[in-house]
Structure 1
Amino acid sequence: MAGDNPLPKKILLFGATGVIGKYILDALVASKSSFEKIGIFTSPGTAENKKADLDELKQKGVEVVVGDVNSEEDIKKAYEAYDTVVSALGRNVILTQIPLISLAEASSTIHTFYPSEYGTDIEYGPSSVNEPPHQRKLQVRKHIRGNVKRLNITYLVTGPYSDLYLGKMRGNASKTGTFDPKEKEAVLLGTGNERVSFTTMADVGKLLVAALETRRTSSPRTLKVNSFTTTSNEIIAEFEKQTGAKWEVSYTSLDELKRLEKEAYDQDSPLATVYTLRRIWTEGGTLYNERDNGKIGEPETETLEQQVKLVLEKETSAFQSGEL
């Protein structure tokens, strides 16, 4: 396959039941006419515990491959029926991708691999190499640079998910930024005027499918994509517009955010990663001279207005069901 530039047709997804994997799978299923086969790799435990969900996927034409992600034999067998691997593995198991990539490189059938890159750009600038949350993804990229010769690699860099950013953070976590539609309260980061590029989780799936459908021009290929760019003050203005009410707004300055970030690491707090990522976004770590949506056909993406509307609909639904 050396020198070839084949389009992905038989897609195997890892991490399909995870936070972003579910949206990627939905987008793949919605575009299944573009592909010959769509499959997910899942563990025996998940296959047993989520049998009804997996049966529903099978009815939609999704093949369910059951195996141990740490078993070389299981992975080799799974790869035989596919030509492209899409990884949506979560941050805590991101290094599992290294053997997956090595086996894909040696495979006679796999020609394309999408590592789990969705989120903050881990090579945005010189300081990126020192950011704690980036270290595992950087190890994966290092492995690819040193060991991948044949495999076609695409990194889909999306920036933060607006669905999560526009949500409510509880307790001390609210200092990392929060939007509370029920109380009409928000904590904004920096001055509120810093521009951040967001991608909705549904758009991550849509943009990935568009990338799969677009013939690559290089490998590794890095696509920096997003749904929209906005500021916290513009987000609040949209919430106020749609709720018809004035919100109570406070701010966590960038200096305060850095102080809280350091404290979180000193105390080994699980919030440390959240502080770091939100500090990076507030500092402008999602902004580029131009985005790469146009390189994959400029698919239609969601807007800030649509995202705020969805947040408010979920809030109303939760309130009516008694979850709040």
Structure 2
Amino acid sequence: MAASTKNILIFGATGLIGEHITKAILDKKENFGRIGIFTSETTLKTKPEQIGHLESQGVEIITGDITSEDAVKDAYNGFDTVVSCVGRPAIHHQLKLIELADHHPGIKRFFPSEYGTDIEYSPASADEKPHQQKLKVRALLKTVKDLQYAYVVTGPFGDAGGLYLSARPPQDEAGGTFDVKRKRAVLLGDGEGRISLTTMRDVGKLVAAALLHPEATKNKALHVNSFTSTPKQIVAEFEKQTGGEKWDVDFTPLDKLKELEQKAWAANDPKAGTVTLRRIWTEGGTLYDQRDNGLIGMEHNVDSLQDAVKQAIEVQAKSS
């Protein structure tokens, strides 16, 4: 029997994706009991307005060090579900969070920070460098005895602000760009390859929905998204929403992307992982015969390509 969720403890609640997941959970708070976040003293000092806003909505703020077993065990008391939204640099901390959750009498469900590219898409996925820490998390979860889990796999984020629908500076645009101000796009591959995208606000809604469907999500990888499109279709939508004028369009072929990837890793470039992910996407590593939105009641309540482009234009306008 699948365990249900009543009281939720969130790690990484104020981060890039955590902010959206926390908001979506709060939007459904009538379905839950306690909602708490585990955060650091540093975050209290650097994000006082965000913390204050959460407190005003009834969120319990638990302060501690994520590396402290005692702090985490104490924080788990009174909660039955853990939702991790930690960023890539902190993925490895989830190993201890899972071990402690499995031995805690109250914690019954664990949602690891899986939001993004599927790390077990194909046999080749096991060798992809950006996947290694998440693969260790999955391997550990497969051994737990008293803990149920779910992986919410969304594919790349269909947003601006440094994500798939961003405007990148000229020196970085070979990795893909949709630049509203310059009306210029650099498309990955030949522009015809389909890619599955999920807006960050939809990631939040999809996680919240998964929390509310324990039977459908028990010990599963859910492959969900907002929409599937091609780079050419995306730039056509940008053209439509920016007055109809044709954009300057260029391409980064797959072979070129692989070359950039090799050079980035050889140079220990911190952006190397991002280039690898873009190569995976260009190879079709986000596509499935069908998505799992319907399993959690989210077949239609997600953003369209038009919604995502509209939002990206607004974000780029604010940052320019």
TM-score, scaled to structure 2: 0.96
Distance 2:77 2:66 in 1: 15
Distance 2:108 2:134 in 1: 21
8 Å CA contact 1:178–1:186 kept in 2: the answer is yes
**Deviates further, 291-300 or 97-106:** 291-300
Partner of 1:25: 22
2:150 aligned with 1:154, yes or no?
A: yes
Partner of 2:111: 114
Shift of 1:297: 1.0
2:307 aligned with 1:306, yes or no?
A: yes
Shift of 1:283: 0.5
Shift of 1:218: 6.5
8 Å CA contact 2:257–2:279 kept in 1: the answer is yes
What do the CA deviations read for 1:122-179 (whole angstroms, capped 9, x no partner)? Answer: 0000100000000010011112223x01100101100000002011122432111001
Report the secondary structure of 2:78's partner residue. coil
Unaligned runs of 5+ in 1: 319-323
Q: 1:9 aligns with which of 6, 10, 23?
A: 6
Shift of 1:312: 1.6
Unaligned runs of 5+ in 2: none
Q: Structure 1 pair 174/218, CA: closer, same or farther in 2 (3 Å)?
A: closer
Aligned residues: 315
Distance 2:115 2:38 in 1: 19
**Structure-to-structure mapping, 1:1-324, within 5 angstroms:** 4-146=1-143, 148-163=144-159, 164-217=163-216, 219-244=218-243, 245-299=245-299, 300-318=301-319, 324=320
Partner of 1:321: none
What do the CA deviations read for 1:226-255 (whole angstroms, capped 9, x no partner)? Answer: 000000000011011111211000000000
Report the secondary structure of 1:315's partner residue. helix
Distance 2:170 2:96 in 1: 39
8 Å CA contact 2:210–2:217 kept in 1: the answer is no
Q: Structure 1 pair 293/217, CA: closer, same or farther in 2 (3 Å)?
A: closer
Identity, % of aligned pairs? Answer: 50
Distance 1:231 1:49 in 2: 39
Shift of 1:204: 0.3
Distance 1:313 1:51 in 2: 26
Distance 2:284 2:43 in 1: 39
8 Å CA contact 1:23–1:201 kept in 2: the answer is yes
Q: Which runs of at least 4 in structure 1 moved beyond 4 Å after TM superposition?
A: none
Shift of 1:217: 4.7
Shift of 1:285: 0.4
Shift of 1:219: 4.0
What do the CA deviations read for 1:272-311 (whole angstroms, capped 9, x no partner)? Answer: 1111101100111000011000110125000110111112
Shift of 1:314: 2.4
What do the CA deviations read for 1:22-76 (whole angstroms, capped 9, x no partner)? Answer: 0001101111111011111001121233233212211111111111111111111
Shift of 1:6: 2.5
TM-score, scaled to structure 1: 0.95
Distance 2:56 2:278 in 1: 40
Distance 1:92 1:315 in 2: 26
Amino acid at match of 2:308: Q
8 Å CA contact 1:200–1:227 kept in 2: the answer is yes
Distance 1:315 1:284 in 2: 27
Amino acid at match of 2:229: T
**Deviates further, 292-301 or 47-56:** 47-56
Distance 2:206 2:53 in 1: 24
8 Å CA contact 1:173–1:271 kept in 2: the answer is no
Distance 2:202 2:107 in 1: 26
8 Å CA contact 1:8–1:112 kept in 2: the answer is yes
**Deviates further, 46-55 or 157-166:** 46-55
